[in-house]
Amino acid sequence: DSGVTQTPKHLITATGQRVTLRCSPRSGDLSVYWYQQSLDQGLQFLIQYYNGEERAKGNILERFSAQQFPDLHSELNLSSLELGDSALYFCASSQRQGSYEQYFGPGTRLTVT
Amino acid sequence: GQNIDQPTEMTATEGAIVQINCTYQTSGFNGLFWYQQHAGEAPTFLSYNVLDGLEEKGRFSSFLSRSKGYSYLLLKELQMKDSASYLCAVRGATDSWGKFQFGAGTQVVVTP
Protein backbone atom coordinates (compact mmCIF):
# COMPACT_ATOMS: atom_id res chain seq x y z
CA ASP A 1 0.00 0.00 0.00
CA SER A 2 1.59 3.26 -1.19
CA GLY A 3 -0.52 5.51 1.02
CA VAL A 4 -2.06 7.25 -2.00
CA THR A 5 -5.80 6.74 -2.31
CA GLN A 6 -7.96 7.13 -5.38
CA THR A 7 -11.72 7.01 -5.77
CA PRO A 8 -13.64 5.55 -7.37
CA LYS A 9 -11.90 2.31 -8.26
CA HIS A 10 -14.08 1.73 -11.30
CA LEU A 11 -16.27 4.06 -13.28
CA ILE A 12 -18.53 3.26 -16.22
CA THR A 13 -20.18 6.11 -18.05
CA ALA A 14 -21.50 7.09 -21.45
CA THR A 15 -19.99 9.23 -24.19
CA GLY A 16 -20.56 12.93 -23.72
CA GLN A 17 -20.71 12.69 -19.95
CA ARG A 18 -18.47 14.31 -17.33
CA VAL A 19 -16.73 12.57 -14.43
CA THR A 20 -14.50 13.56 -11.53
CA LEU A 21 -11.68 11.39 -10.24
CA ARG A 22 -10.33 12.02 -6.79
CA CYS A 23 -6.88 11.52 -5.30
CA SER A 24 -5.55 11.89 -1.77
CA PRO A 25 -1.74 12.00 -1.60
CA ARG A 26 0.39 10.40 1.09
CA SER A 27 0.46 12.31 4.34
CA GLY A 28 3.01 15.11 4.02
CA ASP A 29 3.35 14.92 0.24
CA LEU A 30 2.87 18.29 -1.45
CA SER A 31 3.09 17.22 -5.08
CA VAL A 32 0.43 15.36 -7.03
CA TYR A 33 0.76 13.96 -10.55
CA TRP A 34 -1.93 12.59 -12.85
CA TYR A 35 -1.29 9.92 -15.49
CA GLN A 36 -3.40 8.15 -18.08
CA GLN A 37 -2.60 4.60 -19.12
CA SER A 38 -4.30 2.97 -22.06
CA LEU A 39 -3.31 -0.17 -23.94
CA ASP A 40 -2.18 1.64 -27.07
CA GLN A 41 -0.62 4.73 -25.47
CA GLY A 42 1.24 3.44 -22.44
CA LEU A 43 1.63 5.67 -19.38
CA GLN A 44 1.09 9.32 -20.29
CA PHE A 45 1.86 12.19 -17.93
CA LEU A 46 -1.07 14.60 -17.76
CA ILE A 47 -0.39 17.27 -15.16
CA GLN A 48 1.41 18.04 -11.90
CA TYR A 49 0.42 20.21 -8.96
CA TYR A 50 2.60 21.36 -6.12
CA ASN A 51 1.04 22.79 -2.98
CA GLY A 52 -2.05 23.91 -4.85
CA GLU A 53 -0.34 25.33 -7.90
CA GLU A 54 0.00 23.84 -11.36
CA ARG A 55 3.68 23.11 -12.03
CA ALA A 56 3.94 21.01 -15.18
CA LYS A 57 1.64 20.06 -17.99
CA GLY A 58 1.91 17.07 -20.25
CA ASN A 59 -0.44 15.59 -22.80
CA ILE A 60 -3.62 16.77 -21.16
CA LEU A 61 -6.58 17.42 -23.42
CA GLU A 62 -8.53 20.67 -23.19
CA ARG A 63 -11.59 18.62 -22.17
CA PHE A 64 -9.67 17.59 -19.05
CA SER A 65 -8.90 19.80 -16.09
CA ALA A 66 -7.49 19.31 -12.63
CA GLN A 67 -6.98 21.14 -9.39
CA GLN A 68 -5.35 20.65 -6.03
CA PHE A 69 -7.21 21.84 -2.98
CA PRO A 70 -5.86 23.45 0.23
CA ASP A 71 -5.99 20.07 2.00
CA LEU A 72 -3.76 18.80 -0.87
CA HIS A 73 -6.21 16.34 -2.34
CA SER A 74 -6.63 16.61 -6.07
CA GLU A 75 -9.40 16.09 -8.57
CA LEU A 76 -9.21 15.34 -12.27
CA ASN A 77 -12.26 16.37 -14.26
CA LEU A 78 -12.94 14.72 -17.59
CA SER A 79 -15.73 16.15 -19.75
CA SER A 80 -17.37 15.43 -23.10
CA LEU A 81 -16.10 11.91 -22.71
CA GLU A 82 -15.20 9.87 -25.78
CA LEU A 83 -14.67 6.15 -26.21
CA GLY A 84 -10.93 6.76 -26.46
CA ASP A 85 -10.84 8.18 -22.95
CA SER A 86 -11.35 4.70 -21.56
CA ALA A 87 -8.18 4.02 -19.59
CA LEU A 88 -6.62 3.60 -16.19
CA TYR A 89 -6.02 6.94 -14.52
CA PHE A 90 -3.28 7.01 -11.92
CA CYS A 91 -2.47 9.62 -9.37
CA ALA A 92 1.00 9.76 -7.80
CA SER A 93 2.43 11.90 -5.04
CA SER A 94 5.85 12.95 -3.87
CA GLN A 95 7.09 14.99 -0.95
CA ARG A 96 8.86 17.80 -2.69
CA GLN A 97 8.52 19.34 -6.11
CA GLY A 98 11.82 17.89 -7.28
CA SER A 99 11.61 14.70 -5.28
CA TYR A 100 12.56 11.76 -7.37
CA GLU A 101 10.40 9.08 -5.88
CA GLN A 102 6.73 9.06 -6.79
CA TYR A 103 4.20 6.86 -5.03
CA PHE A 104 1.35 5.72 -7.21
CA GLY A 105 -2.23 5.18 -6.15
CA PRO A 106 -4.16 2.06 -7.22
CA GLY A 107 -5.78 3.87 -10.14
CA THR A 108 -9.30 4.49 -11.38
CA ARG A 109 -10.44 2.38 -14.29
CA LEU A 110 -12.70 4.47 -16.52
CA THR A 111 -14.84 2.78 -19.14
CA VAL A 112 -16.72 4.97 -21.59
CA THR A 113 -19.51 3.20 -23.48
CA GLY B 1 10.32 16.82 -26.81
CA GLN B 2 11.42 13.45 -25.53
CA ASN B 3 11.60 10.03 -27.14
CA ILE B 4 12.17 6.89 -25.11
CA ASP B 5 12.79 3.44 -26.57
CA GLN B 6 12.90 0.10 -24.84
CA PRO B 7 12.31 -3.45 -26.06
CA THR B 8 8.74 -4.70 -26.05
CA GLU B 9 9.33 -8.07 -24.45
CA MET B 10 12.08 -10.22 -22.98
CA THR B 11 11.98 -13.79 -21.72
CA ALA B 12 14.38 -15.31 -19.23
CA THR B 13 14.66 -18.33 -16.97
CA GLU B 14 14.22 -18.30 -13.21
CA GLY B 15 17.59 -17.65 -11.54
CA ALA B 16 19.06 -15.99 -14.62
CA ILE B 17 19.98 -12.35 -15.31
CA VAL B 18 18.16 -10.02 -17.65
CA GLN B 19 19.23 -6.59 -18.87
CA ILE B 20 16.60 -4.15 -20.12
CA ASN B 21 17.98 -1.33 -22.24
CA CYS B 22 16.49 2.10 -22.56
CA THR B 23 17.59 4.86 -24.92
CA TYR B 24 16.27 8.38 -24.79
CA GLN B 25 16.45 11.67 -26.64
CA THR B 26 15.49 14.69 -24.58
CA SER B 27 15.65 18.44 -24.78
CA GLY B 28 16.38 18.56 -21.06
CA PHE B 29 17.31 15.92 -18.53
CA ASN B 30 16.90 15.71 -14.79
CA GLY B 31 16.94 12.07 -14.01
CA LEU B 32 16.04 8.65 -15.31
CA PHE B 33 13.72 6.32 -13.45
CA TRP B 34 12.77 2.69 -13.59
CA TYR B 35 9.39 1.42 -12.44
CA GLN B 36 7.95 -2.07 -12.18
CA GLN B 37 4.31 -2.61 -13.02
CA HIS B 38 2.38 -5.83 -12.62
CA ALA B 39 -0.69 -6.23 -14.82
CA GLY B 40 -3.61 -4.17 -13.57
CA GLU B 41 -1.59 -2.65 -10.75
CA ALA B 42 0.10 0.68 -10.12
CA PRO B 43 3.75 1.23 -11.04
CA THR B 44 6.22 0.94 -8.17
CA PHE B 45 9.50 2.80 -8.03
CA LEU B 46 12.67 0.75 -8.55
CA SER B 47 15.56 3.11 -9.16
CA TYR B 48 16.73 6.60 -10.02
CA ASN B 49 19.88 7.77 -11.82
CA VAL B 50 20.86 11.36 -12.44
CA LEU B 51 24.66 10.97 -12.64
CA ASP B 52 26.56 8.55 -14.86
CA GLY B 53 27.29 5.17 -13.41
CA LEU B 54 25.74 2.20 -11.71
CA GLU B 55 23.27 2.24 -8.85
CA GLU B 56 22.81 -1.07 -7.08
CA LYS B 57 19.82 -1.99 -4.97
CA GLY B 58 19.68 -5.62 -3.98
CA ARG B 59 18.90 -7.80 -7.00
CA PHE B 60 18.25 -4.73 -9.16
CA SER B 61 20.87 -2.39 -10.61
CA SER B 62 20.49 0.56 -12.94
CA PHE B 63 23.10 2.20 -15.13
CA LEU B 64 23.13 5.58 -16.83
CA SER B 65 25.27 7.18 -19.52
CA ARG B 66 24.04 10.71 -20.14
CA SER B 67 26.39 11.31 -23.09
CA LYS B 68 24.94 8.28 -24.87
CA GLY B 69 21.35 8.80 -23.78
CA TYR B 70 21.36 5.25 -22.49
CA SER B 71 20.32 3.36 -19.42
CA TYR B 72 19.81 -0.23 -18.47
CA LEU B 73 18.08 -2.08 -15.67
CA LEU B 74 19.73 -5.31 -14.58
CA LEU B 75 17.65 -7.91 -12.82
CA LYS B 76 19.67 -10.68 -11.18
CA GLU B 77 18.61 -14.03 -9.70
CA LEU B 78 15.28 -13.77 -11.45
CA GLN B 79 12.21 -14.93 -9.59
CA MET B 80 8.78 -15.77 -10.95
CA LYS B 81 7.37 -12.69 -9.22
CA ASP B 82 9.67 -10.53 -11.38
CA SER B 83 7.38 -11.21 -14.34
CA ALA B 84 6.05 -7.72 -14.97
CA SER B 85 6.37 -4.68 -17.20
CA TYR B 86 9.39 -2.47 -16.58
CA LEU B 87 9.00 1.19 -17.43
CA CYS B 88 11.84 3.57 -18.18
CA ALA B 89 11.00 7.23 -17.54
CA VAL B 90 12.85 10.51 -17.97
CA ARG B 91 12.19 13.71 -16.06
CA GLY B 92 12.31 16.93 -18.04
CA ALA B 93 14.37 20.06 -17.69
CA THR B 94 14.57 22.18 -14.57
CA ASP B 95 11.76 24.43 -15.71
CA SER B 96 9.42 21.45 -15.80
CA TRP B 97 10.45 19.33 -12.86
CA GLY B 98 7.30 17.30 -12.89
CA LYS B 99 7.23 16.54 -16.57
CA PHE B 100 7.86 12.84 -16.89
CA GLN B 101 8.02 10.90 -20.13
CA PHE B 102 7.56 7.14 -19.92
CA GLY B 103 8.66 4.49 -22.35
CA ALA B 104 6.11 1.94 -23.53
CA GLY B 105 7.47 -0.64 -21.10
CA THR B 106 9.31 -3.94 -21.45
CA GLN B 107 7.31 -7.03 -20.57
CA VAL B 108 9.61 -9.49 -18.81
CA VAL B 109 8.46 -13.08 -18.74
CA VAL B 110 10.23 -15.37 -16.28
CA THR B 111 9.91 -19.07 -17.06
CA PRO B 112 10.57 -21.98 -14.67
Q: HSE on the CB side for B112, CA within 13 Å?
A: 0
> Is B101 in contact with B92 (CB distance < 8 Å)?
yes
> Predicted confidence band at B66 (pLDDT cuts at 50, 70, 90)?
very high
> Is B62 in contact with B54 (CB distance < 8 Å)?
yes
Q: What is the structure's pLDDT at B45?
A: 92
In chain B, residues with a C-beta closer than 8 Å to the C-beta of A44 are 102
Using the Cβ of A12 and the Cβ atoms of chain B, whether some distance falls under 8 Å is answered with no
In chain B, residues with a C-beta closer than 8 Å to the C-beta of A97 are 97-98
For the segment B92-103, what is each residue's pLDDT rounded down to a tens digit? 765 555 678 899
Residues 6+ apart with CB under 8 A from A1: none
Q: What is the structure's pLDDT at B5?
A: 95
Q: Is the pLDDT at B58 greater than 80, yes or no?
A: yes
Q: What is the structure's pLDDT at A90?
A: 97
Total Cβ atoms within 10 A of residue A103: 22
Cα–Cα–Cα angle for A20, A26, A27, rounded to 5 degrees = 120
**Which residues in chain A show pLDDT less than 50?**
none
Q: What is the structure's pLDDT at B94?
A: 56
Instruction: Determine the average pLDDT of the residues in B35-63.
Output: 94
Q: What is the structure's pLDDT at A10?
A: 97
Total Cβ atoms within 10 A of residue A88: 18
> Predicted confidence band at B40 (pLDDT cuts at 50, 70, 90)?
confident
> Is A92 in contact with A103 (CB distance < 8 Å)?
yes
In chain A, residues with a C-beta closer than 8 Å to the C-beta of B100 are 33, 45, 58
Q: Do A45 and B105 touch (CB under 8 A)?
A: no
For the segment A24-46, what is each residue's pLDDT rounded down to a tens digit? 999 989 999 999 999 877 889 99
Q: What is the structure's pLDDT at B96?
A: 53
Cα–Cα–Cα angle for B45, B29, A43, rounded to 5 degrees = 45
> Is A89 in contact with A76 (CB distance < 8 Å)?
yes
Contact residues, A window 60-89, toward B, CB-based 8 Å cutoff: none
Q: How far apart are CA A56 and CA B99, in angstroms?
A: 6
In chain B, residues with a C-beta closer than 8 Å to the C-beta of A104 are 42-44
Total Cβ atoms within 10 A of residue B52: 11
Rounded to a whole number of angstroms, the distance from the CA of A18 to the nearest CA of chain B is 24
